[in-house]
Amino acid sequence: MENPLIIANWKMKLNASDSLDLAKRVKKASAKYNGVEVVLCPSFTEIAQVNEIIKGSNIKLGAQDCFWEEQGSFTGEISPKSLQDYDVKYVLVGHSERRQNLGETEEMIHKKVRLLLTIDITPVLCIGETFEERQDGLKDVVLTRQLHNAFNGLWLNKSDRLVVAYEPVWVIGSGQDIDPDEIEHTHQIIRQLLYDLFEDRVVDEQVKIIYGGSVDSENIAQYIARPIVQGVLVGGASLDATHFSTIIAQAKKL
């Protein structure tokens, strides 16, 4: 099995000094992270300093969002080109918190994914159904629509990588464990949908599907024990260096 991908999404939860302190602690523990690909996504304001802190380690840097143009009159936005200047390798796109709170549309998400691929940053497309959509039996419809609208018409070159993070909106921040059978089944559906969009070989070799939603050191093993779950996107449990390192240790055991 390929190395599991563990992405920490710090959201807007830490002030500057706490972010830098956490980055230092994670870096200190990182000698033990071989065999796992670890990515930290701090706020934009700490990107440059976190990059300096993790330099020389095997930790990679990610961002929580970006704009869909490289340059121009877009007040307040962040160019993925600028992120690249700070060695950002991954960018989260279409997180449900942005879809819900900022009105991020599927068209915007598509444009962000497209641009990131052209500049060799790996997009981490976040998809997932709300509780109401699930209750109404619309989960598969929602996942299909989100995936198609994000990736339709895109072409992956050999060096391009994509990550799809399945994050059921109702599980985020809830502390709930989800039945791993259901996660596995949903990942299978996502993989099938990807086969409709890209060549089989591209899906098998260049796309990873990971899970996010209240992942912690207690439940991670049951998710990533399923080979189709190729990693996790961690929110709350990534904010404490010791807990985060325990998550990584659990991932390594498998």
Which residues contact ligand 13P (rule: CB under 6 A)? 9, 95, 167, 172-173, 212-215, 233-237
Q: How far is the CB of 224 from ligand 13P (least distance, A)?
A: 14
Q: How far is the CB of 241 from ligand 13P (least distance, A)?
A: 16
167 is catalytic: yes
37 is catalytic: no
H helix or E strand, kind and range, residue 232:
strand 231-234
| Residues in CB range of 80: below 8 A, 6 or more apart | 66, 67, 70, 88, 91, 112, 115, 116, 119, 121
Q: How far is the CB of 147 from ligand 13P (least distance, A)?
A: 17
46, 95, 129, 133: the active-site residue: 95
Nearer to ligand 13P, 51 or 214 (CB): 214
**Cα angle for residues 121, 155, 191 (degrees, 5° grid):** 85
Of 156, 125, 150, whose CA–CA distance to 233 is shortest?
125
Residue with the shortest CB distance to ligand 13P: 235
Q: How far is the CB of 165 from ligand 13P (least distance, A)?
A: 7
Nearer to ligand 13P, 151 or 166 (CB): 166
Residue 67 CA to residue 78 CA, distance in Å, equals 6
CB 51 within 8 A of CB 86: yes
104, 110, 167, 187: the active-site residue: 167
Nearer to ligand 13P, 63 or 156 (CB): 63
Q: How many CB atoms lie within 10 A of CB 184?
A: 16
Nearer to ligand 13P, 156 or 170 (CB): 170
Residue 95 CA to residue 105 CA, distance in Å, equals 11
Catalytic annotation, residues = 95, 167
